[in-house]
Structure 1
Amino acid sequence: MAMDAERRQAELIAQFSSQAVALSSAQQLAALVLEATSHPALFAFSELLALPALSMLAGTQYSSSLDLLRLFAYGTLKDYKNNSGSLPALLPDQVRKLKQLSVLTLAESTKILPYDQLMQELDVSNVRELEDFLINECMYSGIVRGKLDQLRRCFEVRCLQPVSAASLSICPMIFLYAYCIRFRYNLQLEEILHLIS
């Protein structure tokens, strides 16, 4: 199951990477960032942030999209709240994703997450809402496995789902390079077929 999730992350990274390579305007790239950060199954954003094509956003009216991608790669919901004035407003799917990433970030440093800390970090007002989020949006989605301890008011993390292509057994850059070559080949093939017909 973990390998399937890793493979899915790699496929999504490759898909968004090939789209980024094919886009030529900052506006299109900003729309791609919006799509990627809203995608329900994508959790690896540092690989997208490293794409040279996305550096086209810097210094444009869409530079906040690059900052948003950086937030999804390395930040939390709390970071967004602290910098919301310089970032675009989040869609509901993006808020959910940022909350999921916040749980992952917290779970990387400690395996016992107190409810009070989670409620503060996730901007959740009650235990029921927190537990529903942990079950439905974190455990069922497969990004984290654990146990809710209502007596001790904590979430015990048992396993984190690797969300980076770097966790794959193959080198991620080789994977992306091969995918981009295949994408360019398909584009050239389409052009040739169009010229012939």
Structure 2
Amino acid sequence: MESMITDSAPPAAAAATVMTTTTTTTATVPSVVANTVANGSGVAAAVAVGTDLGSGGGGASSGGTGSAAMEQFLILAKTCKGLSAVELIRQVVESPHIYVFGEFLDIPNIGDLANNCDHKPYYDLLVLFAFGQYSDYLANVQTLPELSAQMRQKLRHLTIVSMATKSKHIPYGRLLEELDMKNLRELEDLIIDVIYAGVVTGKMDQLNNRLEVEQTIGRDIRRGDDLKVVANILAEWCRNCDNVLRNIEQQILNANRLKEDNHKQRQQLDQQVSTIKKTIKSSSSSGGGGGADMDDPMTTDLVNSSPRDHREAALNFEKIKRSNITGGGKGKGSGLRGSGTKFWKRDNN
């Protein structure tokens, strides 16, 4: 995208033309033509701004279009004075792509409007769109210029953004009051419009009659109290992060300690099992045939399932030893179920 500014050399008539061209789309951003004519004791200026979005889309979500439009207005604001600056303010607050105005307030030519009684209402209007809400306009409607339909809609959008910074769930009742609306259908249409424009991301909860906000665009902040509020919020956020980190570190310590205890307990249990296996094996080898075989699944299960307490392990060992002594002479010579008696007789007939 290229920007070209041309102004004529003669002091009696200065013309500034801002043209924007692009090679990727046929859509054109707002072009501004300012004609200033020296007129004796005063200066008469006229600013004409035309918008042709074509297929380029619109709304606050179109970051490229909004940035390009704002850049063009800022370029012109540095040279506009008097009535041309007033008309520029009207075009800026009506633009559907511009929702921040602090950079315009920082321009000296715009700030000079506050010192002129005829132009001060438009400077106050720009301040209202930068920091205020719709209720502020209603409270000062006598001293501010009349709002067009586009200005009124945009100021209501900005009001919703300001309300969302205080609560993520905004009841319809509060919205109707703050936006000076009487009709719920009209309010829902406004919410749909503000979401579609990309100013607010959220959804309507018609069951609970409220707007649920996920995120919004940013608004201008004042250098005084607003910066203190932001600093306090960030400080609170840092404190919360520190608390979360401390909790995570404590959980890690607890998990490591538990892992260590389990590992030691497992080692003790393995040592006890190994000791019992060795004792049983040495006892069975010294006591003669009929001893418990360590490869026998029943013996292995019995050993592996032995309790941790040494006393119970010793009692289990004594039971195994007694069973080996009492059944030592019968094991290999006995028939089925320990008896030589046959279960059936062959019929000679």
Same fold flag (TM > 0.5): yes
- What SS does the corresponding residue of 2:124 show, helix, strand or coil? helix
Which ranges of 4 or more aligned residues in structure 1 deviate by more than 3 Å? 3-10
Tell me the percent identity.
32
Q: Return the index of the structure with the highest Cα Rg.
A: 2
For structure 1, the 5+ residue unaligned runs are 165-197
Cα distance between partner residues in 1 of 2:72 and 2:87: 15
Are 1:22 and 2:79 an aligned pair?
yes
Contact kept? 1:6, 1:162, Cα under 8 Å: no
- Aligned counterpart, 2:22: none
Q: What is the aligned counterpart of 2:204 among 134, 145, 148?
A: 148
Cα distance between partner residues in 1 of 2:175 and 2:69: 28
Please state how far the C-alpha of 1:7 moved relative to its aligned partner: 4.4
- Aligned counterpart, 1:92: 149
Cα distance between partner residues in 2 of 1:119 and 1:9: 29
Contact kept? 1:146, 1:159, Cα under 8 Å: yes
Please state how far the C-alpha of 1:163 moved relative to its aligned partner: 5.6
Q: Output one character per residue of 1:4-59: Cα deviation in whole Å (capped at 9) or x when no partner.
A: 64444433332211011122x31110000000001111111122112222012122
- Aligned counterpart, 2:55: none
Q: Output one character per residue of 1:167-187: Cα deviation in whole Å (capped at 9) or x when no partner.
A: xxxxxxxxxxxxxxxxxxxxx
Tell me the TM-score normalised to structure 2 length.
0.44
Instruction: Map 1:19-168; keep pairs closer than 5 Å.
Output: 19-23=76-80, 25-60=81-116, 61-136=118-193, 138-162=194-218
Cα distance between partner residues in 1 of 2:206 and 2:61: 31
Please state how far the C-alpha of 1:149 moved relative to its aligned partner: 0.5
Cα distance between partner residues in 2 of 1:38 and 1:26: 19
Contact kept? 1:26, 1:62, Cα under 8 Å: yes
Contact kept? 1:143, 1:161, Cα under 8 Å: yes
State the Cα RMSD in Å.
Answer: 1.7
For structure 2, the 5+ residue unaligned runs are 1-59, 221-349
Contact kept? 1:111, 1:157, Cα under 8 Å: yes
The one-letter code of the counterpart of 1:52 is P
Change (3 A) 1:114 1:151: same
Contact kept? 1:106, 1:113, Cα under 8 Å: yes
Contact kept? 2:130, 2:219, Cα under 8 Å: no
The one-letter code of the counterpart of 1:93 is Q
Cα distance between partner residues in 1 of 2:208 and 2:142: 37
Contact kept? 2:73, 2:92, Cα under 8 Å: yes
Cα distance between partner residues in 1 of 2:157 and 2:207: 23
Contact kept? 1:9, 1:163, Cα under 8 Å: no
Contact kept? 1:6, 1:163, Cα under 8 Å: no
Change (3 A) 1:115 1:4: closer
- What SS does the corresponding residue of 1:142 show, helix, strand or coil? coil
